Chains A and B, each alone.
Chain A
Amino acid sequence: MAKNNVLQTFKTEISKIASLDDLLLLETKYFGRNGVLNAQLKNMKDLNAEKRKALGKEMNQLKYKILESISKKRQEIVSFGQKNTIDVTLPGKKYASGSLHLVTYAIEEISNIFEKIGFIRMSYPEIEWEWFSFEALNMPKDHPARDDFETFYIQSPTNQKYGKMILTPHTSSGQPREMMRLGKPPIRMINIAKTYRPNWDASHVPMFHQFEGLCIDKRINITHLKGTIDFFAKEYFGQDRATRLRPFHFQFTEPSFEVDITCDICAGTGKVADGTKCRLCKQGWLELGGTGMVHPTVMKAGGLDPNEFTGWAFGFGVERVMMMKPGVGLNNMRALYDGDIRVLEQF
């Protein structure tokens, strides 16, 4: 083939190439051991020196031209489509996005916080005997909490030892249950469960969630209760929050306290930016829930000797602490249970 024809053919061929793979094949076709260029040199040894030199020079030029055009083509192919042809502001492919119930997140976070300090999450019956929810918790028969309008009762024969069947009005029945399960301290328990009360209006729902903490050991005292609850509050609400205990009254703890936490809206000052009173809190404090040192009667009901062991317990509302979390912006408990997808899908 004449040299000019070689270049012509090459040009035609390369003009049709659109991929790197094909380009590589073309390159091999020309530069391979049995390639077109080598074929041109096949008779070189038969030529005289002068002609050989001339052919060599000519071939070098041809080789250079072909290489250059391959290299140019490679650039062309590689850079093809690198122009800004995509509207990057268009939405991406749509992936399914589901949601979990707010209470699920709250329970997960609460159990994780207590797990760090060695509290195990436990579970006890939600349909329970009166004895575990009342007698064992120092609430005798005539206690107001046992009234029909404070607790749901289940239709079933009365158990001679344990009384009637009820829906747990609080998670505290877990206290005697855990004492009996372990038989002896140490006890480090957290019980997160559904609780039920016959109260259904604009701000109450008949089923909600509580979390109960119980710590019993030798020499457990009020400072441990304070420290642990303060730890929880800082982990859950933020390191800048502070807590305080106020005297209160519960049947199953003695002493009993109510826990307050500093308000996040007014940063515990009781006043908002313009100097007016903060409407969310009471003088800078928000009520978190009830707590106290385990009552000796409860300890005995659980089979423990109150002279040997002491302990603390608390019971807080899951929905309550979750709605108090800064930035959640939800303040109506009913919205969580109305089952409206437009509410639930946001979480």
Chain B
Amino acid sequence: MATSEFWSSFKSCNAKRIQKYLSLCGPSIETVEKIENDFIFDIEITSNRIDMASVYGIAREAQAILPQFGKKAILKKRSFPKPKLPEHGLPIEIVDPENLSNRVLGVVMDNITIGESPDYIKRRLYHAGIRTLNNIVDITNYVMLDVGHPAHVFDYDRIQSKKLIFRTSKKNETITSLEDKTYKLSGGDCVIDDGTGTLIDLPGIIGTSNSVVVDSTKRILFFLDNNNPVQMRRSSMSLGIRTLAATYNEKGPDPELAYTALLYGIQLYQENTGAHIASKIHDLYPIKRITKDIKVYLKDIHRVMGITIDEKQIISILKHLGFGVMRHEDKELAYPDGLYFNITVPTYRTCDVSIKEDIIEEVARVYGYHNLPNVISPLAFVKQPKELEKLYTVQYKTKYFLKHIGLHEFLNYSMLSADLLTDLDYNLSKHLKITNTISSEIEYMRTSLLPSLIKNMKDNIGKKETLRFFEIAKVYNKNNNSLPQETYNLAIAVNTNFSDLKGIIEALLHELHIKNTSIEQGSHALMHNTASVKINKQRVGSIGILKRNYQHIIGLSEEIYIAEFNFEKLIEYFSLLYQFSPPTQYAVVKLDLTFQKSIPYQQIEDFAYKSSPLLKRVEYLSSFGNNISLRFYFSSHEKNITEKEAMVQLTNIRNKISS
């Protein structure tokens, strides 16, 4: 936004200061750039403050804010001469039987000389990022930026019927925009019909090529329409026509401003194109926007701001912003509790100011948030649910443990592609589906972490020799029509060997001090050589080798070893410590045994314990071919045993496991 007119009001203050002050208390000024004798302010306007999207709107803010920093600022009030209307004007009929628009203003102007705009208009539009075209069109844009209400212009002579009928579009009707692009409407858009069924405008969004001004234009219909913001946004977004006018109109500019814009536009046309008014001013204004009143107690302002602020300052801030303020006192309440203000909200602010908190915001921001102290919120005890405390504690223990034994954490998207799921024979119908995804890569909510980790393995093979990955994350299981079950899983994938993976699992179970665990032969849809990991005989996870056919479908050049757990089960059985057992006072005799293995190791261990009451521990040493070497630890609670006694035990064991 560049204008020396705006600038001239604040000579006592430099541009950098204005940037700082306004950013702290009002619109955020992203950058200031000096160009010749002017400054360009790049200002971010929040979507609720369309009233600030104009030179006048910013000036009004500045006029309220700068005095807070000791700078003088006066808002120049605008006044326009009453337009002289011809006795017998040119005919034009504007109707809106469905009341689609809040307000429509139109005036015909004759004797137009089309040409270039004066330099100041061209320069200012250029710096505001708007292409200049000719004096007729430029004036509509100039008025919009200055006053804050979009404007449009028709070639009067190209509207042969002299009729403009607002109506709702039908499905598959088409318009051709002024850029000669044809759009098919989906129906329900606000359009203008010339009475013959031909659409001659998509009001508030874009003009159509059959009605806009052309090089030969002599007479114009200067036109301001104030429309339904929701309808504007829907049409603009669904057609992908994001004009500046559309971005204004979807935010509900003040229809009262439309009249100011009309008068300013007429003046500019008269001054710059030689035009004169050739019709009466048509003004359809079925739904008048009116001011509204809000009652705010002084104590509420203090309550939210956390400080006491002088009532005179409150009144001054609000008045500078254009609010009406009446001070009252509730006689039943003692001062200052009974002090309240009746605030009248001006029409340009009724969209964003509707409750007392909005008024408090106005006071607080202009007063300056930087003037409020920093106080840490008063302490209060709120109990964290035990299960969440445990969830986070065990999760961090697990993550750090896995990291420290050399695994790498991955964090994958919660959504998967149908391709990956079907490649791994998952049933798509068991997965929640996103209806409006932007990529087929992220369409289904995962019920397992394995597909993601398998893909991670594939993507990283060759990048590093040893790959050992894990992820802890939620999976989402359908739950009829209720929200899905969200549970935490832990998955691990390695490219080393089965023993490595199993070792990781055993070490983790030990680290979490989980008792009564066992790892047994099992099955899993994705795995061969599968083992089930059980706690108290209940399965909590599986480990195994990715089945050969999946390895090939995924395109993995080597075998990978995968595991997945219901992490919440590990949390459930987690304990900080194992129960203490005092070290034995008596001798421990260690005996090694190598023998031909004919049954699974787990059975050997089970048999060994069953057949020897003195057996305390079995250690796996190695295996070679079918031979296995084990070390047995014997000890008694009552006395020192001799090697001979231990040998007897070992013989019992050997007889049992080889029979």
Q: Is A326 an interface residue (CB 8 A)?
A: no
Given contacts A148-B436, A186-B380, A255-B365, contact A101 B414 (CB under 8 A): no
**What residues on A are CB-neighbors of B598 within 8 Å?**
none
Which residue in A104, A126, A295, A344 is a CB contact (below 8 Å) of B414?
A126
26 A–B contact pairs at CB < 8 A?
A: A96-B404, A104-B399, A104-B411, A117-B377, A118-B379, A118-B382, A122-B385, A125-B483, A127-B486, A144-B233, A147-B237, A149-B237, A152-B437, A153-B434, A188-B380, A194-B414, A220-B377, A223-B306, A223-B373, A224-B375, A224-B376, A247-B28, A249-B49, A283-B20, A337-B413, A341-B469
Nearest-CB residue, chain B, relative to A228: B377
Q: A98 near B407 (CB under 8 angstroms)?
A: yes
Number of interchain pairs (Cβ within 8 Å): 242
- Which stretch in B160-168, B457-465, B570-578 binds the other chain? B457-465
Given contacts A127-B432, A217-B380, contact A223 B460 (CB under 8 A): no
List 4 tightest A-B contacts by C-beta distance, closest first. A96-B406, A221-B306, A255-B361, A186-B380
Given contacts A246-B23, A247-B361, contact A101 B410 (CB under 8 A): yes
Contact with B along A78-107 (1 / 0, CB 8 A): 000000000000000001111111011000
Q: Within the assembled complex, what's the spacing in Å between the Cα atoms of A231 and B369?
A: 16
Of B20, B365, B463, most buried by chain A (CB within 10 Å of CB) is B365
Q: Is A111 an interface residue (CB 8 A)?
A: yes
Chain A, 213-238, CB within 8 A of any chain B CB: 215, 217, 219-228, 230-231
A255 smallest CB distance to B (angstroms) = 3
Q: B436 near A153 (CB under 8 angstroms)?
A: yes
Q: Is B402 an interface residue (CB 8 A)?
A: yes
Contact with B along A131-168 (1 / 0, CB 8 A): 00000000000101001110011111101000001010
Given A100-B399, A283-B20; 6 other pairs, CB 8 A cutoff = A144-B47, A186-B380, A217-B377, A227-B375, A336-B411, A342-B463
Nearest-CB residue, chain A, relative to B229: A142
**What residues on A are CB-neighbors of B364 within 8 Å?**
222, 255
Number of interface residues of A (CB under 8 A): 90
**What residues on B are CB-neighbors of A245 within 8 Å?**
369-370
Q: Within the assembled complex, what's the spacing in Å between the Cα atoms of A244 and B20?
A: 12
Q: B481 near A98 (CB under 8 angstroms)?
A: no
Given contacts A207-B415, A221-B306, contact A200 B438 (CB under 8 A): yes
**What residues on B are CB-neighbors of A219 within 8 Å?**
303
Contact with A along B387-399 (1 / 0, CB 8 A): 0100110001001
Contact with A along B467-490 (1 / 0, CB 8 A): 111000010100001011010000
Q: B46 near A249 (CB under 8 angstroms)?
A: yes
Q: Is B305 an interface residue (CB 8 A)?
A: yes
B237 smallest CB distance to A (angstroms) = 7
Nearest-CB residue, chain B, relative to A293: B304
B422 smallest CB distance to A (angstroms) = 17
Given contacts A127-B445, A227-B376, contact A340 B392 (CB under 8 A): no
Contact with B along A250-274 (1 / 0, CB 8 A): 0000111110000000000000000
Q: Within the assembled complex, what's the spacing in Å between the Cα atoms of A199 and B410?
A: 21
Chain B, 500-543, CB within 8 A of any chain A CB: none
Q: A122 near B384 (CB under 8 angstroms)?
A: yes
Q: A249 near B47 (CB under 8 angstroms)?
A: yes
Q: Within the assembled complex, what's the spacing in Å between the Cα atoms of A27 and B551?
A: 69
B77 smallest CB distance to A (angstroms) = 25
Contact with B along A184-198 (1 / 0, CB 8 A): 011111000010101
Q: Is B447 an interface residue (CB 8 A)?
A: no
**What residues on B are CB-neighbors of A156 within 8 Å?**
432, 481
Q: A120 near B304 (CB under 8 angstroms)?
A: no
Q: Is A171 an interface residue (CB 8 A)?
A: no
Q: Is B647 an interface residue (CB 8 A)?
A: no
Q: A127 near B483 (CB under 8 angstroms)?
A: yes
**What residues on B are CB-neighbors of A211 within 8 Å?**
none
Q: B406 near A345 (CB under 8 angstroms)?
A: no
Q: Within the assembled complex, what's the spacing in Å between the Cα atoms of A220 and B437?
A: 40
Q: A255 near B464 (CB under 8 angstroms)?
A: no
Q: Within the assembled complex, what's the spacing in Å between the Cα atoms of A147 and B236?
A: 13
Number of interface residues of B (CB under 8 A): 90
A169 smallest CB distance to B (angstroms) = 12
**What residues on A are CB-neighbors of B380 within 8 Å?**
118, 185-186, 188, 217
Q: A186 near B382 (CB under 8 angstroms)?
A: yes
B200 smallest CB distance to A (angstroms) = 28
Q: Is B579 an interface residue (CB 8 A)?
A: no
**What residues on B are CB-neighbors of A142 within 8 Å?**
230
Q: B486 near A100 (CB under 8 angstroms)?
A: no
- Which stretch in B112-120, B275-283, B352-360 binds the other chain? B352-360
Q: Is A121 an interface residue (CB 8 A)?
A: yes
Q: A98 near B406 (CB under 8 angstroms)?
A: yes
**What residues on A are CB-neighbors of B378 within 8 Å?**
217, 220, 224
Q: Is A176 an interface residue (CB 8 A)?
A: no
Q: B481 near A310 (CB under 8 angstroms)?
A: no
Q: Within the assembled complex, what's the spacing in Å between the Cα atoms of A308 and B353?
A: 22
Q: A255 near B360 (CB under 8 angstroms)?
A: yes
Q: Is B619 an interface residue (CB 8 A)?
A: no
Of B360, B369, B396, most buried by chain A (CB within 10 Å of CB) is B369
A306 smallest CB distance to B (angstroms) = 8
Q: Is B3 an interface residue (CB 8 A)?
A: no
Of B376, B459, B467, B486, most buried by chain A (CB within 10 Å of CB) is B376
Nearest-CB residue, chain B, relative to A115: B384
B617 smallest CB distance to A (angstroms) = 26
Contact with B along A268-300 (1 / 0, CB 8 A): 000000000000001100000000010110000
A145 smallest CB distance to B (angstroms) = 10
Q: Is B408 an interface residue (CB 8 A)?
A: yes
Which residue in B365, B408, B414, B434 is a CB contact (below 8 Å) of A98?
B408
Q: Is A123 an interface residue (CB 8 A)?
A: yes
Nearest-CB residue, chain A, relative to B302: A221
A125 smallest CB distance to B (angstroms) = 5
Which residue in A100, A121, A247 is a CB contact (below 8 Å) of B392?
A121
Q: A182 near B382 (CB under 8 angstroms)?
A: yes
**What residues on A are CB-neighbors of B369 within 8 Å?**
222, 226, 244-247, 257
**What residues on A are CB-neighbors of B406 within 8 Å?**
95-98
Q: Within the assembled complex, what's the spacing in Å between the Cα atoms of A27 and B358?
A: 97
Q: A226 near B372 (CB under 8 angstroms)?
A: yes
Q: Is A212 an interface residue (CB 8 A)?
A: no
Nearest-CB residue, chain B, relative to A219: B303
Q: Is A64 an interface residue (CB 8 A)?
A: no
Q: A296 near B436 (CB under 8 angstroms)?
A: no
Given contacts A121-B392, A198-B437, contact A165 B483 (CB under 8 A): yes
A291 smallest CB distance to B (angstroms) = 11
Q: Is B153 an interface residue (CB 8 A)?
A: no
Given contacts A100-B409, A118-B382, contact A215 B377 (CB under 8 A): yes
Q: Within the assembled complex, what's the spacing in Å between the Cα atoms of A194 and B64?
A: 41
Q: Within the assembled complex, what's the spacing in Å between the Cα atoms of A344 and B382?
A: 36
Nearest-CB residue, chain A, relative to B481: A157
Q: A167 near B402 (CB under 8 angstroms)?
A: no
A119 smallest CB distance to B (angstroms) = 8
A341 smallest CB distance to B (angstroms) = 4
A322 smallest CB distance to B (angstroms) = 12
Q: A247 near B413 (CB under 8 angstroms)?
A: no
Nearest-CB residue, chain B, relative to A100: B409
**What residues on B are CB-neighbors of A122 within 8 Å?**
384-385, 388
Q: Within the assembled complex, what's the spacing in Å between the Cα atoms of A188 and B383?
A: 10
